[in-house]
Structure 1
Amino acid sequence: MLGEFRRTAVLVPFDDHESLWTADFNGVRWICAFSDEEALARFAVARGDAEREWTYRTILGARLLDVMVPMLPGPGGVALDAGSADGVLFPPVAGVVPDAVAVDLGGTETGAGTR
């Protein structure tokens, strides 16, 4: 699953501050990504936010994990298709994110952050 995600372009919506949409859960900041527009639309409906215009960018999964996650302030990962039965988490652990930010290796480096 990880290899497929790394090779796939996914949709990442922007928040009201024009930053990548993230959610904090249990001390981890998750970049929310979606496999297609339908998955993003289901997420919007579930949030009660279907009427707003959702702007997004298509980003390669590898870029999210290798470049964007290290820019987050603190531990971060990617939540693919959040809120769906088929959702998948790519947590901040070795083999998923760069070693410098993998929490299981004691990584503590953080970048400038997106928010």
Structure 2
Amino acid sequence: MELAAEIAAFRAGVGDPARLVGEFRRAVLLVPRTGASMDGGGKLMSAVSGGIRWFYAFTDEGAMARFAEAREDAGREWPYLAVLGARLVDAVVPEVDGPAGVAVNVADPDGSMLFPPVAGIVPDECAVDVEAGAESAAGVV
């Protein structure tokens, strides 16, 4: 099942958390870049809310276009990277100074999902629910 379908199942109360996180990790996500030209440069687009840096990621160009429209910024080209969800949480999140997670399809009221900085989603050393030096149970939140 694709990520958007797993999100829908989870939001409907019939999804499985482990399957959702697994599909997130396998999904190729579109991550917009800020201040970037089409030839490179720029940072991954994110926002801070509640002390957490949330990287914006989208399951397809339509979801990213709805986000651009919601920001009233649809009149320009949006450079982006295609990145595996696993790469976002395993390689990008550890580089952030402070807690970070991934916000998927944030402009879709019935299709959005947050993947917070907790054990089972991000590496334990980046998880806010794991004490420094402690081992986590390999559970999914």
Partner of 2:73: 49
Deviation at 1:83, TM superposition (A): 2.3
Structure 2: runs of 5+ lacking an equivalent: 1-19, 37-41, 133-141
Structure 1: runs of 5+ lacking an equivalent: 108-115
**AA aligned opposite 1:6:** R
Partner of 2:98: 74
Partner of 2:64: 40
Q: TM-score, normalised by structure 1?
A: 0.89
Partner of 1:104: 129
1:51-98 CA-to-partner distances (Å, cap 9, x unmatched) read 121000100000001111111110000000112121000000001100
Partner of 2:21: 2
Aligned partners of 2:45 and 2:55 also within 8 Å: yes
1:83 aligns with 2:107: yes
Question: How many residues are treated as equivalent by the alignment?
Answer: 107
Supply the distance in 2 between the matched residues of 1:72 and 1:102 (Cα, whole angstroms). 12
1:18-56 CA-to-partner distances (Å, cap 9, x unmatched) read 100011100000010000000000000000000121000
1:58 aligns with 2:82: yes
Helix, strand or coil: the match of 1:103? coil
CA RMSD of aligned residues (A): 1.0
Partner of 2:49: 25
Q: Where does structure 1 differ by over 3 angstroms across 4 or more consecutive aligned residues?
A: none
Supply the distance in 2 between the matched residues of 1:23 and 1:10 (Cα, whole angstroms). 17
Helix, strand or coil: the match of 1:67? helix
Partner of 1:11: 30
Q: TM-score, normalised by structure 2?
A: 0.73
Helix, strand or coil: the match of 1:31? strand
Deviation at 1:16, TM superposition (A): 1.5
